[in-house]
Amino acid sequence: MGFQLIKPDTRIDFIGVRKIAFILSAVLILAGLGSLAIKGGPQYGIDFAGGMIVQVKVDKTVDVGELKGALDGVGLPGLVVQTLGLDEDHEYLIRTSSSDISSQEVRTKISDALTSKLNGVSYDIQRLEMVGPKVGADLRAKALEALFYAVLIIAVYISGRFEQRWTVAAIMAAALGGSIYAFGLLGLDMGWLIIAAMGITVGMCWYLKLNYALGAVAALIHDVAITVGIFSILGKEFDLTIIAALLTIIGYSLNDTIIVFDRIRENTNAEKGTKPFGRIINESINQTLSRTIMTSLTTLLVVTCLFVLGGSVIHDFALALLIGIGVGTYSSIFVASPILVGFGPSAMTDKEVEA
């Protein structure tokens, strides 16, 4: 027989350790929220906070630290210098959070600093882009809306596919989506509205007994919250590439969850009430464990290569994917499915699960 990472007759008691898993998740989420509270919220990049991006090409390799040192005395706040592309391209990206001065003044200051500090190095400023604070705030609001509507549409899809309750889920989605749009027209802070709407979405799924949607949505919010929290703890910036990573994480985590939910539904229909629901969930997770783990490992292998070899420009994007895919795999096993134990056909005690 060939080597098998996960044996087909696996009997791991995932449901039995669900309380430990919930505590671990709560600790990670609270640590992230604590970091966000201490730092006054996420550390926004230029896309969301406003600022300037300058792309510079030089005629030979210059150390990033040397280039940053040459620009330190220019007086540009939030200065970040990164390599761009391959090493032999000799291209660098200079970011500054300043948007109070003109682009021409920034160009002049950078040119003077490079000319005086980098002796014998020829350079060319190829691109200079500025994002105003109002544009950044609009992008931030739209990014939050994108995350919210993605989760809301997923709640509708899960409810329709697994519980055949398309109408109820669609009415819930229309009401929540319409209210967010209306409040947005009133100029209310979109960040707090989206956070409140996420909580209301979970509450509505529970109240309307959309149990599969509740498990999936809770897992998605769990994945995003932990990824954002870890980024805050590490002091990483949030920009449009990170939002793209979060949306990718949502899609990946949902795929994992649907695989497990499909098997739970198949086994529930096959058993027709002859086994406790908690035991059916446990068996379903074990039956899909090999596919879940192997898919995650192969994806993580590719993302790790992207993280190590992709360069500094997409470093944070790859890091977000690494965290999110790992947490998403964990949540499909230890969060989404165990939530069904308490809200499924019958709420099970630990003894009943083990029966």
- Give the amino acid at 154: I
The structure's pTM equals 0.83
| Domain locations along the chain | 15-44+135-354, 51-131
As given in the structure block, the two tokens for residue 19 are 């309380």
pLDDT, position 309: 84
Same fold, 15-44+135-354 and 51-131: no
Give the span between the Cα atoms of 246 and 320, in whole angstroms.
7
pLDDT, position 351: 47
- DSSP line for 228-287: HHHHHHHT-EE-HHHHHHHHHHHHHHHHHHHHHHHHHHHHHHHHTTSS-HHHHHHHHHHH
**H-type alpha helices, 118-165:** 133-163
Pick the CATH number of 15-44+135-354 from 3.20.20.100, 3.90.1300.10, 3.40.50.40, 1.20.1640.10: 1.20.1640.10
CATH class of the 51-131 domain in this structure: alpha beta
From the first residue on, what is the mean pLDDT of each consecutive set of 10 residues in the chain (355 residues)?
A: 61 88 95 92 80 84 81 78 76 78 82 81 82 75 84 88 87 83 72 80 86 91 94 88 91 90 89 80 90 90 89 85 94 90 56 46
| Helix and strand totals (H; E) in the chain | 13, 6
Give the span between the Cα atoms of 182 and 175, in whole angstroms.
11
pLDDT, position 221: 92
pLDDT, position 318: 93
